[in-house]
A = this chain, B = another copy of it.
Amino acid sequence: MANLKQLAQSLGLSITTVSRALDGYADVSAATRERVREAADKVGYRPNASARRLRRQRAELVAVTLPSDPGHIGPPHFLDMLSGCAEHLAAAGLNLVIAPVPRGESELDICRRFVDGRRVDAMLLVRTKRKDERVEFLQSRGIPFVTNGRTESLLPHPYIDGDGFAGFRAATLRFHAAGHRRIGHIAGPQEYYFAHDRCRGWRAAMEECGLATDLCAEGAPLEQGGYLAALELLRQPSRPTALVCATDEMAIGALRALREVDGGNQISIVGHDDLAMGAFTSPPLSTMRMTGENLGASFASLLLRAIAGEPAEELQELHAIEFVDRDSHRRPAKAA
């Protein structure tokens, strides 16, 4: 309600002293400090955020750009991650703004607007592409940022990512060890690093086992994309007996394709993300998940450290992938 000037006047003190008292500086006496704090509490004084930001030359804001292609925004629990991140940022006085990309503008335009207008202290980038123009731009501007997912940028940058390559390679090898020989992959759009990485993992395993890598179909990272991709694979002359899907949503779409084509329950399937929904599908969906808890907090921590100036090399987290065994990966490997 009140501002510093009014508060100072009512206390018979200078603005300076009141400001420093509230910030806990040692050069104001304990008695005065207490008196000021009480008065501030009483009138419910909160420093005006805009004024502070201007003076401190800090926006106290972090922006996350959201791709606007439907379904490309991220898995359903993505908001939970953002929420966790925002919560931890708030503890450091930063707020998280979401910056979707309006039609007709590129993600780059958004970055530019936020960065050049000094609207943010850092940025969080999600759904990174292998070649991501946002990364290059932010690097050139020297603005702190963290990405969710690696890129193929030559300069190192802070990121958190799951080791999709290792995870999908291991999942494929598991199917092979269980006797499967025709193991298909339902891939996400390959311009995304995560989708490419996971695809590479599957391909590597197949090649190690001396198996052909033609049972691969790409689709949008949504139920419908998985459904269509699965139908494509099921039309092949020799059907796969197991399916490794880039995401749970795609796997759930594939599950429906399986039900339609062979009555379901003949083909093994595994997804990735560990959606809550997966425990409730029929059959319950086996899946993979990135290890580590409270991803949002990790992002917040990395962002804060990036703002503090830590070098990019120390701000890279590659998390192992673990399996979540439910039921859908246990179908026999017999010829279909």
Residues of A within 8 A of B (CB): 1, 44, 46-51, 53-54, 57, 59, 61, 63, 66, 68, 70-71, 73-74, 76-80, 82-84, 86-87, 90-91, 95-102, 113, 116-119, 222-224, 227, 249, 252-253, 255-256, 259, 264, 276-277, 279-282
Contacts and interface: CB of A to CB of B under 8 A. Distances in A.
Given A46-B116, A73-B80, A73-B83, 17 more contacts: A44-B116, A46-B113, A46-B117, A48-B118, A49-B117, A49-B118, A49-B119, A50-B53, A53-B53, A53-B54, A63-B95, A79-B79, A83-B98, A84-B100, A96-B97, A97-B98, A223-B279
Contacts of A82: 79, 98
A119 B98 contact: no
Nearest to A94: B97
Contacts of A249: 277
A227 B284 CA distance: 14
Contacts of A84: 100
Contact of A80 (B57, B70, B99): B70
Contacts of A277: 223, 249, 252, 277
A255 B259 CA distance: 16
Contact of A83 (B1, B51, B66, B86): B66
Contacts of A96: 97-98
22 contacts: A46-B118, A48-B54, A50-B54, A50-B118, A66-B79, A66-B83, A68-B83, A73-B79, A73-B80, A73-B83, A78-B79, A83-B98, A86-B100, A95-B99, A97-B98, A223-B279, A224-B276, A255-B280, A255-B282, A256-B282, A277-B277, A281-B282
